[in-house]
Amino acid sequence: MQAPRTIALDAMGGDHGPSVVVSGAAQSLIRYPALDFVLFGDQAAIKEQLRSYPDLAARSRVVHTDSVVAMHDKPSQALRRGKGSSMWLSIDAVANGEAHVVVSAGNTGALMAMSKLILRPMAAIERPAIAALWPTVKSECIVLDVGANIGADARQLSDFAVMGAAMARALFQIERPSVGLLNVGVEEVKGMDEVKKAHAWLKETEGLPFRYHGFVEGDQIGQGIVDIVVVEGFAGNIALKTAEGTARQMGQYLRDAMRRTWTSRLGALLARGGFKILRERMDPRRVNGGTFLGLNGITIKSHGGTDALGFASAIDLGYEMAGSGLIERLAADLEAFHRRIGESIAG
């Protein structure tokens, strides 16, 4: 039996606002009937959309806000002007216990800045990270950081490994997931100094809550050789967007090839079942949603330009994360890890 969960939604976030948010919530409610929603934003616009989804309306509460954080606002501007915004109040709903998770497709920088201010980073966490699900030939892996931080030192990269492992246990039910550090090669002499330093710490520290694999290269992410790939946010964001663009490019190549001649069109017709599976596996909307890790609460960031299917995927992820005990387990893991790594460095 599904446990009841309440999701706070920033209904005004993203490129499409309430139309995508409400439609996505309706799709997610079909899969998770125990969900309840609190939607923050323009009450008239939200209720107009809810008229098409009576089941969702019955499980939703709307909180009106006049203020909206724009996609182009700088984080500093959003913090100064956004205290009454749909984004601020939806995060605050998690902080005060009204909701288990917040989901927003809004401005990433503003969402991270507000989440850090309202939910607060966990003890000893210098920088929260954004973790994304990444399709592999085996199933999925977790990649972090994919955009919260530009650059990271060895301590932060090591913390990302602990965060990713906690998320993998929560979502994949793997007690000791495997972790790899993304690098320009697998040889120990290659890479930036901070990456090599983090590698040495993770390799030498005993009693870690995960299995440390070592270095992995970019082409190995999709092979699924590890459960978690750790990288600083600049390279991680580029890798993520490159992979999404490549998936769309390959899909277009395939469609063009299948339309080229009557024999290729016939082949496409005969193989339509296989192509349907391939299209679903390559669709980035089905793994939409980045989790902010390292905070005392769960924030899910949806892609700003996604449609209802993509936003529903972000809500689905929020539901799964809400019942995972992630925050408590991660706090314990981080405390133990910092103690062990301190002993390792001192020794």
The 10s digit of each residue's pLDDT in 170-190 is: 888 898 999 999 999 888 878
Which residues form the domain of 91? 5-123+294-324
pLDDT per residue over 3-59, tens digit each? Answer: 789 999 999 999 999 999 999 999 999 999 999 999 999 999 999 999 999 999 999
Secondary structure element (H or E) that encloses residue 211, with its range: strand 211-216
Q: CATH number of the domain that 142 lies in?
A: 3.40.718.10
Instruction: State whether 142 and 213 are in the same domain.
Output: yes
Number of domains observed in the structure of the chain: 2
Instruction: State whether 91 and 25 are in the same domain.
Output: yes
Q: 330 pLDDT exceeds 70?
A: yes
Instruction: State whether 213 and 104 are in the same domain.
Output: no
Place of tokens 């501007």: 77
* SS3 (DSSP) at 85: strand
pLDDT per residue over 292-325, tens digit each? Answer: 999 999 999 999 989 999 999 999 999 988 877 8
In degrees and rounded to multiples of 5, residue 213 shows phi and psi of -85, -35
Instruction: State whether 206 and 302 are in the same domain.
Output: no
Q: 271 pLDDT exceeds 70?
A: no
In the chain, alpha helices (H) = 18-31, 43-50, 54-58, 75-81, 86-95, 108-119, 154-172, 193-204, 233-259, 262-270, 272-282, 308-322, 326-346
pLDDT per residue over 78-129, tens digit each? Answer: 888 878 999 999 999 999 999 999 999 999 999 999 999 999 999 878 789 9
Judge whether 272 lies within some domain: yes
From its phi and psi, is residue 272 left (phi > 0), alpha (psi between -120 and 50) or beta? alpha
Q: What is the predicted pLDDT for the residue at 291?
A: 93
Lowest mean pLDDT, pick from 67-76, 246-255, 298-307: 246-255
Report the chain's mean pLDDT, rounded to a whole number: 88
Lowest mean pLDDT, pick from 177-181, 197-201, 274-278, 284-288: 274-278
Q: 241 pLDDT exceeds 80?
A: yes
Q: 268 pLDDT exceeds 80?
A: no
**How many other C-beta atoms are found inside a 10 Å radius of the C-beta of residue 346?**
6
